[in-house]
Amino acid sequence: MDNEACEKLYEACYMRVFSYVMTLAGDRHQAEEITQETFFRAFSRLKEFRGESDEVTWLCAIARNLFTDERRRQSRAQAMPEEAVSREKGVEQSAVERDASFRIHLALHGLEEPYREVFELRVFGELSFKQIASIFRKTESWARVTFHRARARLRERMENNEQGM
């Protein structure tokens, strides 16, 4: 693939891959780094692309592997410090948003795999069921059923968490 074709692929797929990685990482800087590394690896290994899936699915699979590797490295290191409260928002508003975000992520974190990842790919990564199925090497029906079960379990967890508070 020549430089122009690589540039077109990058422009066409960057935001979708970045969005996917952002759902995994939850950190913009880390998502940008992993996305850049994803394209670097993809371009250096184009000969390995068999065409069994579309390019976005292939790129997301590379990104997922890179994210997993990064998470392993981070688990060995100390936890990163929590970010400071945003200065643009009021302290009270920031606290409310962090609390709501925490409850959502707590419920998501409690979902067992593959439900959590399928839900994140569909909702945050905006991937189609076909693309999700390709990432997991399953059928499109499996992806649909898994997503709907994940959504039901997440809804149930959120309701249980609200009742428990």
The domain spanning residue 135 has which CATH number?
A: 1.10.10.10
Is pTM beyond 0.75? Reply is no
How far apart, in Å, do the first and last CA atoms of the chain sit?
56
Percentage of residues of the chain with pLDDT beyond 90: 12
Q: What is the pLDDT of residues 101-158, one digit of tens each?
A: 677 667 777 788 888 888 888 887 788 889 999 999 999 999 999 988 988 888 888 7
Print the domain residue range for 33.
Answer: 1-77
Compute the average pLDDT of residues 66-93. Answer: 64
pLDDT score, position 7: 82
DSSP string computed for 129-163: HHHHHHHHT--HHHHHHHHHHHHHHHHHHHHHHHH
Compute the average pLDDT of residues 52-65. Answer: 85
Asked whether residue 85 is domain-assigned, the answer is: no
Last residue of a domain, one of 54, 77, 100: 77
For residues 129 and 69, membership in a common domain is answered with: no
Compute the average pLDDT of residues 2-25. Answer: 83
Q: Is the pLDDT of residue 43 over 90?
A: no
**Measuring CA to CA, which residue among 126, 162, 165 is closest to residue 147?**
126
Overall number of domains in the chain: 2
Asked whether residue 31 is domain-assigned, the answer is: yes
